[in-house]
Structure 1
Amino acid sequence: MDLPDTAPPHDSSPLESAAGAPQSEPTTDLLADGRPPVERGTAASEQSERRKRVVRPGDLIFAGASRGSGILLLVVMAAIAVFLTIRSVHAISVDGGNFFTTQGYDIEDTPMVFGMSALVLGTVVSAVVAMVLAVPVSIGVALFISHLAPRRMAQALGYVVDLLAAVPSIVYGLWGALFLVPHMLGVNAWLNQYFGWTYVFKQQMPGDQPRSLFTVGVLLAIMILPIVTAVTREIFLQVPRAHEEAALALGATRWEVIRTAVLPFARSGIVSASMLGLGRALGETMAVATVLSPSLVLSLHITDPGGSTIAQNIATQFGDALGDGRDALIASGLVLFVITLLVNGGARLIIARRKEYSGANA
């Protein structure tokens, strides 16, 4: 039986297929509304651009108010700096001593002598003592309120902290003069006995009333503790819950969660809260004037009576000062202004270096 003569199938080569096969036209999938995606995307982009060009009056008002507030703040700061500088230049020109190294301060003498060395030392020492005592306690209290305490107890402690932050300075000063100073006798004696070898806690006049820079530092620590605690507590409460849950899922203990998730996230906020407290410690007047026995002695025996701060010196002498004497006090205010700016500038640098922990990328 003869089979039909059929040609074997012929596989065309890719070149032949490319040359001989007709080119199919590109197909475009139409959307439900009958338009190609390109047209629809173009229309959507045009509509988005049109919406961007439409500016509401409320947006303009808010943007102008925000910009104006920022500019106003810069203008006020510049005005304060210019005023202090102009009044200080004249006072420094009639100063009979060295403005930075002279210990004496007599604005009623002729010529006037007012040096900043003892005042700057007292201001810095009292503020450092306050920060060393207050910041660790504030962080601990904030962690307890935000992560460890039961809800009702945390709410009660939060109210107490906020209430302490609202107490006026003069109330703290009266409490310090009537209660804290007498009770610091035993503390100073203990520090002299066990830490007198450090020179800082060595008492040259043991047994005297402890109206000293150390007592002022303790009082300032109590004053700034509610501020630092309140700000730090709010920062701890902003830690993303997902970070803590991830650490717990990996088997971390509660302390490890705080150490690895909470503290790194809040590090820049803790620095900001500490600088806020330091600003109050540097500029405190009435509480310091109530507790401290002013003397312009350049000494690092911080438990001995005496010492003075810039703010306390201005508060006690400004009422009786006239003419060049008042300009001398303004010059000391300029020094305090510069110290505050340097401290805040340093804090901004620290925060900028730790910006990966600021929570902006969380």
Structure 2
Amino acid sequence: MTTLPSYDAAAGRDIRPRRVSRRASGVDAVFEHSARAVGASVLVITGGVGLFLGWQAYPTLSRYGLGFFTESAWNPESDVVGIAAVLTGTVSIAFVAMLFAFPLSLLTALFISEYAPERAKPTLVAMVDLMAAVPSIVYGLWGYLLVMPHAGDLAVWLQRHLGWLPFFDVRGADPDAAVVDASRYVSSSFCAGIAVAMMVLPMACAVMRQVFSQTPQGEKEAALALGATRWGMISAVVLPFGRGGIIGGTMLGLGRALGETIAVVLIISPTFEVKPNLTEIGSNSVSALIAGRFGEANAAQLSALLAAGFVLFLITLVVNTLAAVVVNRSRSGAGTDA
């Protein structure tokens, strides 16, 4: 076995292989440690919020047990507290929001990524992203003053033609009356869900658009070369490729819809009743309950409100975690042709 020389006498220099170190140094080390610190701090803050809510909710959960989840009334003065009604209302509002936001987000993302002219794409992306910067109270006022009257008319039409479904049945109201009682069709989960849908749309659209933009160009060109129309190429290549982004963006939007507060508070008429009627006046959500009762709550009532917040925190955490997992497991588009 021969060993390679370590010194070149003619050149007067060391010719041994340089030892390569993968350890970051200088600016790279500063960036790496800063990124780790920021990431760790986010996890610590999120975990701290969960531990705080859990600790504050423990007295309420230990006192009421499972009854806290099955009782619909919220009357701390009579020692009757439960979140069945507000959980139902939270899910109802989020369901209506996603019913409107999902197709709008999907179609908007497809239009921007596949149909819009190249010069217009940056402007369209900026306009959709700026929707996320609009304050919640603006959406709430928009929903209350502009959307709700028209949503009430739509609710009357839905009961008139689909009233046999419990979702669209408004108890005590006759949609065929000479003068329809419009007050029975407003301030509902349906009206609040429409406003929340506009707040959810930018987030869901951004995730879908980003995934669609990573579709391999070679696969798209191959589909077109085989005679597919543009929609045929989208349905055969883009949509299957972006399935994970569609699911992930929808679930991220759902997490936002579950926790929306101000817009819901401005629109709904608070009630504590478990009902499937989406278009009937009266609804509530966990976040709206906390916002409405927090200022006047005593120690025991505050614990009950924080228990409701803890449940909502766990639900949104699970939804957002599942969304992140779905997005990360979708195809990355690393092999996209230039």
Q: Structure 2 length normalisation: TM-score?
A: 0.85
- 2:306 is the alignment partner of 1:330: yes
- 2:53 is the alignment partner of 1:84: yes
Structural RMSD (CA): 2.2
Partner of 1:212: 188
Give the drift of 1:295: 0.1
Moved more, 149-158 or 165-174: 149-158
Partner of 2:108: 141
- 2:157 is the alignment partner of 1:190: yes
Deviations 1:258-309 (A, max 9, x none): 1122122222222222222222211111100000000001100111101100
Secondary structure, in 3 states, of the residue corresponding to 1:325?
Answer: helix
Using the alignment, how far apart are the partners of 1:219 and 1:181 within structure 2? 9
Relative to 1, partners in 2 of residues 1:75 and 1:125: Cα closer, same or farther, differing over 3 Å?
same
Relative to 1, partners in 2 of residues 1:191 and 1:258: Cα closer, same or farther, differing over 3 Å?
same
Partner of 1:29: none
Aligned identity (percent) is 42
Partner of 2:333: 359
Secondary structure, in 3 states, of the residue corresponding to 2:144?
Answer: helix
Partner of 2:90: 123
Q: Is the Cα–Cα contact under 8 Å of residues 138 and 225 in structure 1 kept in the other structure?
A: yes
Superposition pairs of residues 266-285 of structure 1, within 5 angstroms? 266-285=242-261
Give the drift of 1:311: 0.4
1:265 to 241, 245, 248: 241
Partner of 1:226: 202
Using the alignment, how far apart are the partners of 2:210 and 2:332 within structure 1? 14
Using the alignment, how far apart are the partners of 1:293 and 1:68 within structure 2? 44
Q: Is the Cα–Cα contact under 8 Å of residues 53 and 309 in structure 2 kept in the other structure?
A: yes
Q: Is the Cα–Cα contact under 8 Å of residues 84 and 333 in structure 1 kept in the other structure?
A: yes
Deviations 1:39-62 (A, max 9, x none): xxxx89x43xx1235642223222
1:239 to 195, 215, 221: 215
Using the alignment, how far apart are the partners of 2:335 and 2:303 within structure 1? 49
Q: Is the Cα–Cα contact under 8 Å of residues 212 and 306 in structure 1 kept in the other structure?
A: yes
- 2:30 is the alignment partner of 1:61: yes
Moved more, 137-146 or 152-161: 152-161
Using the alignment, how far apart are the partners of 2:24 and 2:268 within structure 1? 58
Partner of 2:6: none
Partner of 1:6: none
Q: Structure 1 length normalisation: TM-score?
A: 0.80
Query: For structure 2, which runs of at least 5 residues remain unmatched after alignment?
Result: 1-14, 174-180
Query: For structure 1, which runs of at least 5 residues remain unmatched after alignment?
Result: 1-42
* Counterpart residue type for residue 171 of structure 1: V
Relative to 1, partners in 2 of residues 1:349 and 1:63: Cα closer, same or farther, differing over 3 Å?
closer
* Counterpart residue type for residue 245 of structure 2: G
Secondary structure, in 3 states, of the residue corresponding to 1:302?
Answer: coil
Partner of 2:75: 106
